[in-house]
Amino acid sequence: MNQRALVKFSVCCLLAGLLAANPLPVLAQEKDDSSFESWEDDDQAKKPSSTPAPVADTAAVDLADTTVATSEADSGRGMLPAVSTRYGSVRLMGLFQTLFDTTLYSDNETVGFSFQRARIMLQGHLLSDELTYFFQGDAKNMGSFALDMYFKFQRGALSLRVGRFLPDYTMMMPRDESNLSAIRYPMLLTQGGFGVWRQIGVELGYQASDKFLLKLGVFNGLFTEPGATNPELTNQQMGGFELDGVFTATYADNNKAKDFLLKAAFNFSQQLRLDFNFWLGMPVNAADAGENDVVINAGPGIEYLAGKLHIMSEFLFRVVAYGTDQDAVTALGMWAHIGYFLSENTEAIFRADLVEPNLDADNDMRLRITGGGHYWIEREHLRLLINGFFELPIEGGDNAVAQEAIGLLVQASLAW
């Protein structure tokens, strides 16, 4: 598949998404699972957040109060009083996560404690409830404390977010990191390189009803194609990143064109949600700065949440067409997650991850199986998570990409 065909395919997908949204009526205010929503009043702030364990009964759980509201600033978890004046407001929130990791690889072992996240967040509104802001910094991020800076304007069914943030791409990336349903992100976003991570750009949201959500975004985009440099390693610093001893600024464009996002989400019922994610990237070719590659990531995700049972699954397919004389590379990744509440505060989880970074290469497919238990010590805020996992190549033979690994992760998580 050449670049021209890929771009035509991408434009068709974008147009199809827009045409699908046009017939829908404009209704009430947007609520989505990956944007930081407008300032809540005191009564709203006291409602259960998106992070606690569901009540252990058989009643259906409305996705509008759980799946659709899982970002940090919309969690409503603030433990401290918010300050509000005539012209604005501010709420202080935080997330502290400490990890104990013991992992046995094929030829070595690692054991130790580490900070996963030590974050401070400021969120509020300015002049009007329609104009909100969000800032997030992480003390672990020694290169640049700041992670997210953006403002959001929302009126009726339309919203506009501008700044630096995690785009609404995939089911897990935009979520509150105190509630990833496991200690780690799914493997396809990290090792698989399907995650686009933090970007500088603009995102337009449109929600016609509580059944349908559409997001369109334009961003500075991927630095290089994921096979050359994993996006997770290049987009975590506010001012730039260092790779192989070379510092690259991320405020400036790092491609000739831009990257485009299309996301559509459908709530079929109070329990069932279906997502479709599409990303078109045009990064500079890693071998020739005068050429651009074309990267297409796309795939569906599904989530079911009712009573004690929580099921999620996602599939992504990627095609990279190179600006130089090189064959296109196709990749796929998928994951499935099941959570079940044994009691009101205790959850058992199981997750399976599969990543194939190159469908034409042998012995590079990876499988990770994760199982564990999570316990809420204090509802909404304090949680202990224990995950055991094993990771291995599943095609047999020697594997040059990664070793076999088995390990245990223990995380203490405080969200406030």
pLDDT in tens, 154-164: 999 999 999 99
Q: Give the residue among 306, 314, 309, 240 at the shortest CA–CA distance from 277.
A: 314
| Length of the chain counted residue by residue | 416
Model confidence at 54: pLDDT above 60:
no
Model confidence at 22: pLDDT above 50:
no
134 versus 13: which is more confidently predicted?
134
Residue 259 · residue 222 · CB < 8 Å: yes
Six-digit token pair at 92?
């202080």
Q: What pLDDT score was predicted for residue 30? A: 35
Residue 342 CB coordination number (10 Å): 12
Q: Give the residue among 97, 92, 98 at the shortest CA–CA distance from 79.
A: 92
When pLDDT is cut at 50, 70 and 90, the band that residue 32 belongs to is very low
Tell me the per-residue pLDDT of 65-104, one tens digit each, with 9 for 90 and over: 333 334 655 655 667 778 888 889 999 999 999 999 998 8
99 versus 30: which is more confidently predicted?
99
Tell me the per-residue pLDDT of 332-344, one tens digit each, with 9 for 90 and over: 999 999 999 999 9
CA distance linking residue 403 with residue 399, whole number of Å:
7
Alpha-carbon dihedral 356, 362, 364, 366, rounded to 10 degrees? 60
Question: What is the distance in angstroms between the CA of the first residue and the CA of the last residue of the chain?
Answer: 49
Q: Residue range 269-280: average pLDDT?
A: 94
325, amino acid identity: D
CA distance linking residue 137 with residue 40, whole number of Å:
22
H/E stretch holding 383 reads: strand 382-393
**Strand 294-306 relative to strand 272-281: parallel, antiparallel, unpaired?**
antiparallel
Q: Residue range 382-408: average pLDDT?
A: 79
Q: What is the largest CA-CA distance in the chain?
A: 67
Residue 416 · residue 72 · CB < 8 Å: no
Model confidence at 234: pLDDT above 90:
no
Q: Is 113 exposed, middle or buried (0-12, 13-18, 19+ CB in 10 A)?
A: exposed
Q: What pLDDT score was predicted for residue 126? A: 92
Q: Residue range 410-415: average pLDDT?
A: 94
Q: Residue range 6-20: average pLDDT?
A: 45
CA distance linking residue 361 with residue 332, whole number of Å:
12
CA distance linking residue 18 with residue 209, whole number of Å:
16
Model confidence at 11: pLDDT above 50:
no
Six-digit token pair at 70?
């899982």
- What are the C-alpha distances in Å from 120 to residues 95, 137, 353? 7, 5, 31
CA distance linking residue 142 with residue 237, whole number of Å:
9
When pLDDT is cut at 50, 70 and 90, the band that residue 242 belongs to is low
The domains found in the chain, sorted by start residue, are: 3-35+47-81+89-415 (2.40.160.10)
Q: What pLDDT score was predicted for residue 104? A: 87
Q: Give the residue among 351, 325, 402 at the shortest CA–CA distance from 108.
A: 402
Residue 53 · residue 263 · CB < 8 Å: no
CA distance linking residue 388 with residue 368, whole number of Å:
10
Identify the sign of the CA torsion 164, 79, 44, 179.
Answer: positive
Q: Which three-class secondary structure state does DSSP give residue 146? A: strand
- CA 71 from chain centre, in angstroms, equals 9
Six-digit token pair at 22?
């046009």
User: What average pLDDT is seen over the chain?
Assistant: 79
SS3 string, 6-49, reads: HHHHHHHHHHHHHHHHCCCCCCCCCCCCCCCCCCCCHHHHCCCC
Q: Find the range with the poorest average confidence among 21-30, 181-190, 228-237, 377-386.
A: 21-30
Six-digit token pair at 292?
């651009």
Model confidence at 238: pLDDT above 70:
no
